[in-house]
Amino acid sequence: MSGAGAPDITVDGTGLRVTVVAASWHEQVMDGLLAGARRALADSGAQWTEVRVPGSFELPVAAARAVTAGADAVVALGVVIRGGTPHFDYVCSAATTGLTDVSVRTGVPVGFGVLTCDDEQQALDRAGLEGSHEDKGAEAVQAAVATAVAL
């Protein structure tokens, strides 16, 4: 984890079934988030499957399906970049509220790896790519796996 006050999480996820649900907008950033998530999942020992959806708005329904299919934890990855209309706010709000609802309603942890950024550079800085300061795909995995183990 990174950022002021962030915990250092190392967790054994052996035996857990994790589903990664990933949006497809902003390909370069998504490639970084997915690579970071895969590294963290491999390190944790968990088994995982991946589901791609078009945009971040579609992440909650994919997360809900993953839970119904038996996932022990879900990791949601997406990138939303502010544009010239209020669309950004609606997509961010729908993704955040929808993923929270799935998690709280079902009791299955959902790692929140959705970047909500003012511009592409902010997203690249957090995508776990060479030169990035942060690796939010990996952090979302660590949070979801640690929560599944704790519960």
Which residues are identified as catalytic?
87
Nearer to ligand DLZ, 5 or 54 (CB): 54
Burial of 1 (0-12, 13-18, 19+ CB in 10 A): middle
58 annotated ligand-binding residue? yes
Positions in the binding site for ligand DLZ (CB under 6 A): 23, 25, 54-58, 78-81, 83, 87, 91
What are the residues facing 73 on neighbouring strands? 18
Determine which helix (DSSP H) or strand (DSSP E) holds 79, and give its type and residue range. Answer: strand 73-81
Taking the complex as a whole, the smallest distance from the CB of residue 145 to ligand DLZ amounts, in Å, to 24
Nearer to ligand DLZ, 12 or 89 (CB): 89
Closest by CA to 77, choosing from 43, 31, 121, is 31
Taking the complex as a whole, the smallest distance from the CB of residue 24 to ligand DLZ amounts, in Å, to 7
Block residue for tokens 């990996």 = 138
Nearer to ligand DLZ, 11 or 57 (CB): 57
Residue 37 CA neighbour count, 13 Å, CB half = 32
Bind-site residues for (2S)-2-hydroxy-3-oxobutyl phosphate = 84-85, 126
Bind-site residues = 25, 56-58, 79-81, 84-85, 112, 126
